[in-house]
Structure 1
Amino acid sequence: MKDILARVIECERTIRRAEAEQLRLIAELATDEWAPVEIGMALQLSPVNAAYRVAWATRLATVFPDVLDAMAAGTLTDRGAHALIDPTDHYTDELAQRVVTKTLQTAAGRTPQQLRRSSHARVQRADPAEHARRRAQRLADRTVTVYDTGDSIATLSTSQPVEIAHAMYTKIDHIAHAEPRQGRTLDQIRADVLAGLVLEEPKSAGLKPLIQVTVPITALLGVDERPGQLDTGQLIPAGVVRDLMSHPGTVFHRLLTDPAGHLLEYTPDVYRPNAALDRFVRARHRACVMPCCTHPARSCDLDHATPWPLGPTTPANLAPLDRRHHRYKHATNAQITLADDGTTTLTTRWGHTYATTPEPLDEPPF
């Protein structure tokens, strides 16, 4: 199995190298306005898709050649390259290059979703004024839409500020977990709860959701405009955080970090983490520690890397795993070790080793 998996990995690297080579060649061919026409015919692309492909290849070759190099080295897929670069589209090329170059340093082993989130956060921290301006612009476009998806089913969709959307989902999820299953999946229950709330079913209308926002004390005091961050990773402007903090019922928790933005240690000695330790571990990791997983830590199980009582109930032995990965660990006897800074090393049953490090709570953009 180990040899087969190694071959699968090599096939993937070959695909990535080929993608990089094709993009470089397309950029070389893009010498006039007719190049997209000929490239589109050669690759069986529509005129719109051909024009987009040529523009993308040209932008990579001229503005982000280091991204093409990373693709050629097998570090990035084309989707990963988009995840790095797309969040910088409305910023200057100079800032975009700095953000992409810095994020590229830790791109190996990360999913496109993780790279996109990291690139978004870095560019927003680097230019908080533009972040606030773009948020205000997008806020003006918020809407609710409904569209048919066939088979007498429709989808209801709404665009909201990120903190409102997550508060809405948290409330729906909280109510759904308290509902009787009655043969329904959790997703089906969430859909039923949402319909009940919108249609004013009275039993749960008064519940208030809880969202967690981490914010530098300097921004909270108005000294600077460093953004706050939801526990699901999205950044929100400092002004919005200050407004949220002024609401009645806001609870403050003091989180001490080292200069790099990592949480410091807390050490109890019981099997089940108490509330403070539970919050600490979830705040430090923010997501399941399995490689490539972005499941929020707030709804993960806390797993003892070394089973209790052989291992203590401390931050150095506790890590969030979503339920599927928790079951995977025990079913396959995968081994997890934790360093003091939260870096998690996983060794699989096939002998492959992967390491993940928690992202700092307030990482400088560069």
Structure 2
Amino acid sequence: MHSNGEVGSDSGSGSDADVAALAELVADAAGVTDAARAVQIREVRVLAAAGRLAEQQTAGADERVKAREMALRSIAAELAGVFVTTDRTLQRRIDEARDLVEHYPATMDAWEAGRITRGHVRVIQDAGCVVPIEVLGEFERAAIERCEGETPNRVRDALVHLAERLHPRSFSERHEAAAAGRCVRVQPGADGMSDLIATLPTVIAEGVVDRLTRQAREIIDARPQADSAGNDDGAASGTVEGATSDATAAGAARAGGLSFAGDTRTMDQVRADVFADLLLAGTPAVDPTATGDGDGTLGAIRAKVQVVVSALTLTGEDDGPADLVGRSPIDAATARELAGDNTVWDRLLTHPVTGTVLECDAYQPTAAMRRLLRARDRHCRFPGCRQPAIRCEIDHTHAASGGGPTHVCNLAQLCKRHHDVKHHTRWRVRQLAGGLLVWTSPTGRVYREDAPPPLVAFAPAIDPPPRTSPPLGDAPPF
């Protein structure tokens, strides 16, 4: 008879050598976990300190709220260059870090001691955001005890209920306040797709999904009749509910309630098509401009997007993606459909080697300078920002009040946020030839912001001249 150790040695993957190797991996993993926790805690404290610095810089200043916001934006933009992210993201992380350090000291201590993980900290902070500051300490202590020895996802519901019990205001009161924050936002995804996220009262959200589901079910149930009609006369049949004749509605005519022979869309696909069709082509029931039996003016509003597409793609000579400015590439078929009903075109003449936009004209000319800047910049020109030019403001790099000319060589697109940062903080910018912007942060860091490259790749007969950095030097920025 073999001993237990001998059996383990003979059992392949359960040998003593394998167990020893696994033990070494576990020890390494524990070391990595400890090191990662230390780095995460240090990052949180650095970001919290950045938030405190913004407040200290504006202590006693007039219009203190606006001054603090400008200081925080400036600091966030400075740190964003180090963290290689956007200043908006950094500002949000600064606010979260400061809230954690200042309002959850016991949680920070438990995290540093290794009693809980970063996941537990997020759950505690998320659930605790509704707890009044007077009882936050009580919530924190109970929450830490619940977290020890359990995974974050298992304690989330318990902490939410704990926070509810400690809140002095009724759920109805808090729901009314929360409903004021309802919003819609877009989260870009891969392969020309995005998530459209609407934050709504739960009953409204459930009602929307139920209506979409029932409408999609009606369309799917109508398929046998459509297939039968198609077999009888060789033509597709069906109806379009609320469809639009405006092709800029991004394909609404081919979506929505269209029922036709050979329709093989899934429930999810039909539901998504109906959703897009209703939003792009429907008239809101709450339109305050509606009078009598006529439609209100809100129903006449059509979706507007900014797309840059090459002539080769439009003519079908290639299927390269077009650029939905500020978001992501879109497929060639969608770009061609959008182009089909567009009555106003901006035609861009670009340099054959560098791709710099040289001229811009249109069949129906309007504000040529604005068109050129919109074509050249495509989005906000602050480092890291991708806000589309159609939602930006035109800024004089060298202020007009200081003698700066109103010319494309002194103009650039900036979103409202970064326009304010330029004028109300110590961020400075110079504009060089070809629309190149050179930003200098308050601490002296320099960021080169080139005009976006062209979408069409050219193959010149000769090698292009090497790209060199501009003479950033010590010349004072405007």
Pick the TM interval, shorter chain. 0.3 to 0.5
TM, length-normalised to structure 2: 0.36
Structure showing greater Rg: 2
